[in-house]
Amino acid sequence: MFIILLLSGVLILALRTRRKVRKNARRNRTAPYKSTDAHLKPFDVKTAKPQAANPILRGSAYVIDGDTLVIRKTQIRLFGVDAPELNHPYGKKAKWALVSLCKGQTVQAEVTEQDAYGRAVARCHLQDGRDLSAEMVKLGLAIDWSKFSGGKYRPLELPDARKKLWLADARQKGRMHVWEHFEAKRVAGDDRD
């Protein structure tokens, strides 16, 4: 008898809950397309395209400079860091450090975006999982560009890295006059030779 009463109580409770759920669903129901959604079109299988995932490139890398390389004919800028240009102090050293990291390795580049110069920006990793951006920062030959990395690589910077890579630091801070002055001095020095 007790079991029958218990089961009937559970059944009554379940029915009441079900009614409340249905009542609330009716009350909250909205039209599928509101007047503000008039510009939206219904899903069409024939014209639908899959959302592009971040492309991943794998292969050997040809190094351009300390933060740029080429994989499978695609020029790639390392994500979140800034290394000196080839004709700037430590520029050649940065390039050769990246060459030695990539030599004989298959590099995997996950493209995240495209920069203002049309290069793919990518998170690049070696076969053993090391992040090339992080490795260049740890070597003191690149600095974190927090505008793009969110400060991810800043803790890895050597204490004197921003002094040593002062031109890259000036560019990040928008002090292009420092950059232009260096370039003008360099060109004037080349003309005398």
Spot the catalytic one: 72, 113, 119, 157. Answer: 119
* N-to-C CA span, the chain: 110
Q: Domain ranges for the chain, please list them.
A: 56-173
| Res 30: pLDDT | 47
Spot the catalytic one: 85, 123, 135, 171. Answer: 85
Task: Answer yes or no: is pLDDT of 179 > 90.
Answer: no
Lowest mean pLDDT: which of 46-50, 74-78, 121-125, 159-163? 46-50
Q: Write out the two tokens for 55.
A: 């492309």
Query: Do the beta carbons of residue 90 and residue 141 sit within 8 Å?
Result: yes
Active site residue 18: no
Distance CA 63, CA 86 (A): 11
Express each pLDDT in 15-30 by its tens digit.
Answer: 666 666 566 655 555 4
Distance CA 91, CA 98 (A): 11
95, HSE (Cβ side, Cα atoms, 13 Å) = 14
> Alpha-carbon Rg of the chain, whole angstroms?
29
Query: Do the beta carbons of residue 157 and residue 143 sit within 8 Å?
Result: yes
Active site residue 85: yes
The arithmetic mean of pLDDT across residues 139-156, rounded, is: 92
Which band of pLDDT confidence, cut at 50, 70 and 90, is reported for residue 117? confident
Lowest mean pLDDT: which of 5-19, 88-102, 170-184? 5-19
Active site residue 26: no
What's the whole-model pTM score?
0.69
Q: Write out the two tokens for 159.
A: 């204490």
Lowest mean pLDDT: which of 29-33, 149-153, 158-162? 29-33
Domain 56-173 has CATH 3.30.420.240: no
Return phi, psi of residue 192, to 5°.
-75, -25
